[in-house]
Amino acid sequence: MSEQIQKRIRALEKELDHHNYLYYVADAPIISDREFDELMKELENLEKEYPQYRDSNSPTQRVGGEVIRSFRTVLHRIPMQSLSNSYSREEIDEFIARIEKQTGVFPEFTSELKYDGVAISIIYEGGVFSRAVTRGNGVEGDDVSANVRTIRSLPLKLQGENHPSVLEIRGEIILSRRAFERLNQKMRELGEAPYANPRNTASGTLKMQDSSVVAERKLECMFYHVLGNTDLPDSHSARFEMLREWGFRVPDLAENRISVSRSTDEIMEFIDYWAQTRFELDFDIDGIVIKVNSERLRQEIGATAKSPRWAIAYKYQAEQAETRLNSITFQVGRTGAITPVAELEPVLLAGTTVKRASLFNADYIEELDLRPKDLVIVEKGGEIIPKVTGVNIEQRVQSSVAFEYINACPDCGTDLIRKEGEAVHYCPNEVECPPQVIGRIQHFVSKKAMNIENLGDEKVERFYELGLIRDIADIYDLTHAKLQGLDGFKEKSINKLLQGIESSKSVSFARVLFALGIRHVGEVVAQRLVEAFQNIDQLMGASIEELESTPEIGSVIARSLNSYFARSENVERIKALKNKGLNFEVEVRVNSESQVLESKTFVVSGVFEKFERDELKEIIAKHGGKVVASVSGNTDYLLTGSKVGPSKLAKAEKLGIELLSEEEFIKMAGL
């Protein structure tokens, strides 16, 4: 039986890897998302029931879940060099002439897209993903394997045959424009300032401590170089074809993402084509890379200490325009974050008319020394978000004076605050500042939160102005009598709205917690919190130390939660919502397998070898035990793995609570 189970797990892994490749690399899926999800669910269930057969590179591991407290520094086998840059045909001619003089031939060249991402080196051993390391300083970088493993377009096990025993391949981690825009939409929903560009966002994502958040952001990986290996074809273009057979996403001749050139004219033709067409891509490029195609010739040509002599980058100038900065205005987000905005004379840029551009924060304005009526240089950061990048000082009006950043909220007049270590100013008047109150209500009723139908952003603003809703709890006081007679509200629309409000009372605790709009508490964080704290009272009573010991909850989120629950108006709001019937606890449904742990109370903390933390909690519940979030005098056991929460450990030792290792627990539960 166990052999059949193991075979089924391996078969599912292989099938899911194949469908991943077809969907994310070949763009030719052959099954529906639902069918894929059913296969994945079957594999997840088998791995939970038979953890001894789970593979570290299983398709189920792409969702992340590992929390990295620090990234290990790793020495590169071969240094990761950077490319020399060029900006003209003359410089390309000089590059080719140097090679021709050294080798005595005009070699074949490849031209390919220069991805605007984060350089990465990935090693496979025996055809299986082993390690991913950032460029770092070129000599050593950070091991980000747990995060890179979540990238769906990356093969964790190579397809095909005849793989080298060790394969090192290099490429760029990128964030597509669609994924970037989805992420920024989420930031706006959270009331936070949007990210500036895909490249920096990809870089920051790759260094996140929580791999499950990395998985949600949908990074991609594009490959462009295989380190010298005598078992592979000599030509760079032929190596790409072999890599494609092994499951990698590499440039395709058929799509003109790479070309083989035998003259400068052919190289420049490729450069000129992508200068015009690059805006149609769903990811950013900032130039073209020209390389000698032959690996043998590359070895002969060699490299300097910093760059290979056989390759050069042709860099595109970012599309820019000059226009007048009429004024600087300020927007207030629902969390009170203040975003300065450049109000511009309309100007055509990268195919669209730009009238406004984000200025990010006070430091950015000061660094550029921006002043109203300046002639400013505007470009599209990552070809998406317009941004002001410079000032034409020579055209500055002599009478202009340095811009002074506002010190009071433009909407309510409250003095702004700027927290230590943060670049953004905030309005602290959460209770009465109109944009914050309206934004908080709009977030609360949104689809991913309470999903109250027929109560969109415009209606929220209107109800606020009429005094019908001044806080989220007021939504549940709306009645037929209050809405009757309002312009645009007839019997059918009133009933539909009231039904939507009533239906929202069945929304899960996790979504209610997300809907509250606590700063830094997005959908994923809310889910993790309700997994650790079974009801709102446990969560409100948790100390900063207890919050920080919760998986994926760092000090910033812990302090934000602690600060939110310390405010009396927030406590009263939660009390009012509880009285209205909203769900503030986890509904536990467990099919009990035995009562061997009956009446025993456990706290689970740390990283375990054989089980995930959530699996252990599920096992405890199935065998009659109870799991709580924090250690108290009523706790029977602290089930400890490595990196156990120090506050939990100290409290358990102080109270004389028995410490239980994973092995001891397995014996106790009879597993």
The catalytic position among 114, 380, 626, 648 is 114
Q: Which residues contact 451 (CB under 8 A, 6 or more apart)?
A: 445, 500, 504, 507, 511
The Cα 110–Cα 106 span in angstroms is 13
The torsion angles phi and psi of 636, rounded to 5 degrees, stand at: -90, -40
Q: Which residues contact 505 (CB under 8 A, 6 or more apart)?
A: 580, 581, 582, 583
Using CA atoms of 142, 145, 147, 149 in order, give the dihedral in degrees to the nearest 10.
160
Structure tokens at 108: 């074949």
The Cα 450–Cα 453 span in angstroms is 9
Task: Answer yes or no: are the C-beta atoms of 264 and 108 closer than 8 Å.
Answer: no
The torsion angles phi and psi of 557, rounded to 5 degrees, stand at: -65, -40
For residue 655, give the DSSP letter.
H
The Cα 537–Cα 535 span in angstroms is 6
Concatenated DSSP letters for 275-303?
Answer: HHHGGGSSS-EEEEEEEESBHHHHHHH-B
- Of 175, 169, 167, 249, the residue nearest 206 (C-alpha): 175
The Cα 512–Cα 456 span in angstroms is 18
For residue 666, give the DSSP letter.
H
For residue 36, give the DSSP letter.
H
The total of other beta-carbon atoms located within 10 Å of residue 320's CB is: 14
H helical segments located in 446-598: 457-466, 480-483, 491-503, 509-515, 523-532, 536-541, 544-548, 555-566, 568-579
Q: Is 114 a catalytic residue?
A: yes
The torsion angles phi and psi of 323, rounded to 5 degrees, stand at: -150, 175
Q: Return the CA Rg of the chain.
A: 29
The Cα 80–Cα 308 span in angstroms is 10
Return the biggest CA–CA distance within the chain. Answer: 91
Which positions are annotated as active-site residues?
A: 114
